[in-house]
Structure 1
Amino acid sequence: MLDGLLRTLSAVEKAVSSIAAFFMFAIMIIVFSDVVMRYGFNRPFSWAYDLISLYLMAGIFFLILSEAYASHAHVSVDILQQKFPPAMIRVTEIVTCLVGIVVFSLIAWLGFLRAVESFRSSDVMAGAIPWPMWPSIGLVPLGAGLITLRLVLHLVAHVLSLATGRDVIALPASHATEETFE
């Protein structure tokens, strides 16, 4: 059952990451077009900065969080873990998951409440275009909710791995090399 949940979450993360990749591509196209319009025709886009900063950058950051965690593509301070036996590494991963669950579930919940409030009050950004704020704010609980689910599943998998002695989920690969910094 855990494997099925992890596969389902991975599929959702892939879809959401594709949206983040599209947002990155959109930023490149908008910035390029804005530069051409600004320096070629002296008519820059008045909406480019607002769209990029309000929606696209928030989308890139929050929509990729969960998949980055799942693939160990995040920053990890593992200098002590390198010296630990596998059981102790599992314990540190359990602690990491517990702390992450608390932090990201709070972000998801408070972000959700803020997005609902923004939607109800029809908040808009002051500027050339009155961009609605709730879609941008809604990216926060979406991304934080996905990483919370990922952390819960990893927590369960690490606890089961520790309890049964078999790898339900693989430990993160060590970033240690044979080189030292002498």
Structure 2
Amino acid sequence: MGFWQRLGKLEGGLASVGAGFCLFAIMIMTVLSVLGRYVFNVDLIPGGYNLIERVAFPLLVFWAIPLAHRDGMFPKFDMLQAKLPPLVHRILASLVLLVEIIIFLVVMWYVTEFAWKSAESGRQFQISSTHWPIWPVILMVPLAFGLMLLEMFRLLWVTATGRDTLNQTTEHKGESP
């Protein structure tokens, strides 16, 4: 199994297992909070809203972003694709991807700096009357951006050269020596 297939499996695992678990946790906490509030007149999950807002929802989003980008769910600038010659289209698509990569590299720099400072300072958030560490959640953000940047570099290679690294490795596996 090649690097890109393993990376795809990692992204798929983060999205399906990690983000899926977070979505399930959000649903359970919401149901229990509503049930406790309106049926039992008690807060069954003290700080449940903070857990959803500061842990479950950010993890859900940032664990799903790399796979969403890989699967082409992000908006793309391909309106003119059919009207341009293939070479011009590849050049324009490569330039657009290059601008995206530069923007994401800048964002990644600041996100990583923030995550590093959060880990160093032991950043916390309040749940009910206790404080929990938030820095492990914040460390997932640079991971997600890093995975997405790897995919963007692969797409830049594919777009600029016309060679698909994913399809080439799977085609060679089917060949017998």
Cα gap change, 1:135/1:113 in structure 2, threshold over 3 Å: closer, same or farther? Answer: same
2:37 corresponds in structure 1 to: 38
Distance (whole Å) between structure 2 residues aligned to residue 35 and residue 22 of structure 1: 20
| CA RMSD in angstroms, aligned pairs only | 2.2
Q: Deviations over 1:127-176 (max 9, x none)?
A: 52312121222121111111001001111122221xxxxx5269xxxxxx
Cα gap change, 1:98/1:31 in structure 2, threshold over 3 Å: closer, same or farther? Answer: same
Which 5+ residue runs of structure 2 have no aligned equivalent? 167-177
Q: TM-score, normalised by structure 2?
A: 0.81
2:66 corresponds in structure 1 to: 66
Residue 80 of structure 1 deviates from its aligned partner by: 2.9
Q: How does 1:1-182 map to 2 (within 5 A)?
A: 4-18=2-16, 19-44=18-43, 45-128=45-128, 129-161=130-162, 167-168=163-164
Residue 36 of structure 1 deviates from its aligned partner by: 0.8
In the alignment of these two chains, the number of paired residues is 163
Q: TM-score, normalised by structure 1?
A: 0.79
AA in 1 matched with 2:12: K
Higher strand share: 2
Identical columns (%): 29
AA in 2 matched with 1:12: L
Alignment partner of 2:133: what SS?
A: coil
Distance (whole Å) between structure 2 residues aligned to residue 55 and residue 79 of structure 1: 38
Alignment partner of 1:125: what SS?
A: strand
Distance (whole Å) between structure 2 residues aligned to residue 7 and residue 78 of structure 1: 26
